[in-house]
Structure 1
Amino acid sequence: MAPSISTNPLLSLLLFSFLLSLSIFHPLTTAQPLYQNCETALNYTSNSTYASNLKTLLASLPSNASRNNGFYNTTVGTNQDPVYGLVLCRGDVTPARCQSCVDEAINMIKWVCSNSKIASIWYAHCQLRYSDKRFFSLMEDAGKITLYNTARINNPTQFAPFLNDLLSNLSNRAANDPSLGMFATEKTKFMGSQDVYGLVQCTRDLSMNDCSSCLEGALRYLMGCCSSYIGARVLTTSCNLRFELYYFYTDSDSDSGPTPAPPAAPNPTFKGKKGKKSRVVAIGLAVTFVGLVLLGCCIFHLLRRRRKPQEARKQQSPHSFLNNLGVTNTDLLNIDICGGSPGENQELPFIDFGTIQHSTNNFSFENKLGQGGFGAVYKGVLADGKEIAVKRLSIGSSQGLKEFKNEVILISKLQHKNLVRLVFYCMEKEEKLLIYEYMPNKSLDFFLFDQIKRAQLTWRIRHNIVNGIARGLLYLHEDSCLKVIHRDLKASNVLLDYEMNPKISDFGLARTFRENHSEANTNKVIGTYGYMAPEYAMDGLFSVKSDVFSFGVLLIEILSGRKNSRSYLAENAQSLLAYAWRLWCDGKVMELLDPVLIDSCPMDEVLRFVHIGFLCIQEDATDRPTMSSVVLMLGSKSMTLPHPTEPPLYEGKRKVISEQSPSNAKTSSNEVVISEVEPR
């Protein structure tokens, strides 16, 4: 057992002295950063060439930024260990305020990102970035940071399009008017009375097109997450935008404004008093730090006692993990789903329960995303800032345990950019958790079937979503050693990441086949009305062509903005497929399209997508194309398409046991459930 640190007075004294020196020499900045990002994977040593180059670069930034209208980028050490740096001050601040902000940013980034080769930091008035790789003139908007006021706007339905117009106009001005220096602000009134202030800005090394693209992506992200709040901002390394209901920037024709001025020099009359106050603050901070670190040492000592069993679990392979769950089908475990050599993809990353409990705020109601097929789903944030979706198996759920086993078998080995990804698992005592990448834009139906939000689904975004879903299905059907039939493809099971890229999720009804099998039959038909192929709904027969049918329905929905549901049937006396087919036969396909697409999409391409959709929903499964043919047809403008036959336009002749998939009951957009996995 390790000795107790708290019982060693000499060590405690050393700790106290060390932390006291840290608190005295640590810069007491006048403002806190909005956000900082320190890449810990690449580090430099204190006496290295990189450290020397970085020191020189940082020293050059404040004065040069203030002399160059708030923007400056430079390189130090072009031959060995080069450092690339960039600083941008907000376009409305004075040179003095700009220099003051950059000074603060440098002091803080040296403190919080010490020894990191790549780092970024954002303040209200400036942002700073450095790297060991050249990034000048490259638009980078991945890893968007969002800050928002949690209070809600009173009229969100009317406010969303108003806000979109405001920030879109500002983005166009900033990107296309050279005289503005890629910075624009505007004040306008919402519903004739409420003042709304907007601001957008790009780093000035970008081209006009890149600035426009960066702001467009940031705006799309803001509208997806924060359009119902009374204020929000999106930060990236290449651009940022913000709106508020109060005046937060300075007019271009004024030297003053609501933003606090840089700190003035101390009044000599109060100099001694302020110095005494600073020393008291420093001592108070030192004592606080000492107490926290000693507490941390005690916690560390206790955690070390648990390290060995924890590490043993971390090394657990899927074989032993699944055996603990009662999975004995070693033949299935040995199948290489991803197409690599045997033995690859066998390590399943473990994470301890305490970490997940902390990341979800002890599985609080506020973090709950929904209720899935075998338990609740929560949002979590790990210590490094990584967002996750956590599925927690309901204790005592036999059906949930079965799905949990199958999900570990299947999803842990499926690796494709258009499938949701499993990142960790946890199994401690009665707790069983699966941890997935978090999808911030929820699911496709959240946008597609909302009268306001679907305007955000431009033709470019819908085109990308359709192609992504098709490629994901192709991987499941043909590019893995097992044929995986999803059986429940629909808009709510397509998740959207930060960039609105699609990820197929919720494998609650998934079934698998060997390569020499292509179809199977079940006595228990479970699925979602409107998406099930007729041979499955009536006879329980499913195959890859069943998924092709669901894809065709989903494609018609994406193009029309309408849902093929019972409610549509009740309201219109016909299904969406029947309505679409009638328009096709009458040569009136334009009436099928979502009105928001009419003026913004290439009609020949849209009509081709409609044609492909009808080929996928033909009644006879043998007439439907495979997903490999679908992907080829979607990507080719010259390929001649066959004429489709009539889709099924009738009600099912056989009772469907469950028209709602297990995860459809108040489910999270991040939910993924695995049902039976049976090699045939």
Structure 2
Amino acid sequence: MQISTVSINLLLLVIVLSLLGLAIEAQQPTYLYHSCPNTTTFTVNSTYQANRNTVLTSLSSNSTRGDGFYNTTAGRSPDMVYGLFLCRGDLSTSFCQACVTFATTDISQLCPNQTTAVVWYDQCLLRYSNRNIFSVVAEEPAVRLRNTQNANGTEIPFDQLVAATVVMNMNDITTQTENKPAGSKKFATRETKLSSFQTLYTLAQCTPDLSGSACSRCLQGALESLPTGWQGGRVLSPSCNVRYEIYPFYNLTAVSPQPPPAPEEEKQNKSNRIPVLVASLSAIFGLAVVFISGFFIWRRRNRRDKENSQEVQLLDLVNEHSRETFNGESGERSREFPSIQLDILHAATNHFSDENKLGQGGFGPVYKGTLADGKEIAVKRLSETSSQGLVEFKNEIMLIAKLQHRNLVRLLGCCLEKSEKLLVYEFMPNKSLDVFLFDSKLAAQLDWQKRFNIIKGIARGILYLHEDSRLKIIHRDLKASNVLLDYEMNPKISDFGMARIFEDKNEANTNRVVGTYGYMAPEYAMEGLFSIKSDVFSFGVLLLEIISGKKEQWFSSFRAW
């Protein structure tokens, strides 16, 4: 069967348009952060809103200027609006335009009625205000972001090198300001060898409307708050930004110095060959770029879709538990298992500050939080770098959300937003049992009656898990640090990330032994066999610790893969 030329052309046209569509999608900017305080707002359909819309439209239409920066105003006081955008200095005009165009729409949704707003993307920033923001240094609000990998293992003092390199970038910008007309780009990058196989990449940038001294002052402030001890970090402010990574995050070709011009004679010889080379290679090169770009975009989309599908499954799981009863035996519908908004948890924990950190678990840190109504909570923030974080998150929801007992810690809700995986528990003010047992001063507070009550409470919790709950559950990591104490020193078993559900079996086998040496039953540690007897063995070790006040000797936690 012969395919007509028209059909072939139509097929090729469809393929090219599809790839171009993917390429356009790839230009959608990467959102980083936004700020629009509710302290001042405008009325819907007001003059200020009309002026803001005019400014945003003007910014979008002027994003093709080629210099990556533009500022404009609309209206008159008191409804005057000032606005500007700044694109990363290495971006092409098309990528800058894509970022700014997206930002003008996005900022209206993120900040629907605020008179002052700023939004940052990996490729650009856009801001507007009811006050003059031109040629004025604005260091607040500042956003600190970091790479999740620490900088251990570098052959030289890493943080010192980062600081020194950023300072050199600042000097480069100062030199540019002196040798170029006002309004020119204030943007510098630098590559510094850390070792034979590792390079440090740094970037610094200011809005071009700042003077050289104002730019230096802004960058110096950003440098002082730059996250250290990590393989990458950045500080974003409305007037400047700095960043460092151990991988190239900007266009190396665009920022590399141009080669010196060739002699006239050599130029003439080359000019004769250029049209021939362009004519013969442009089509092949263009198609290759399109298809290769399409492949990588497809792969990235698949990876993103896979990650999103995992989160959707977990959200479905949360909704499923919202529909089910937590107490299947009584048949009564318990209250709904809530999904809590990320901004509420940020406010409750003071943006997960170190001051609110309660401890560090195997899958991430735990923070104390206080809700707006004064209720205290504990928030477990699963680490993005933990390979088992998603598994633990699913286990916690599947198991503890269905369990209700006074000697099990209560799960209040969860949050799945912006790649965060957060679990919210009732707050246990006296922390964990090991804090009291193995501290000579605190141990004195545990008289024999309290120790006996703690032993009984743990036993009741285990009995509920093994026999009385709707599910037969093996905890697999019962130890002193996983027993929390409330205000009255009542014990509550926590951390169900390693737990397993038993159905009609007395024992099971696993290739992945998880838990803590010393608390493990021998058959589980050596052969991977676990059952309710495994938890009973752990309880026996815990019982000896409570009575003697001495810690078991095999204290090394491990996870075998």
Same fold (TM over 0.5): no
TM-score (norm 2): 0.44
Structure possessing the higher relative contact order (Cα contacts under 8 Å, 6 or more residues apart): 1
TM-score by length of 1: 0.37
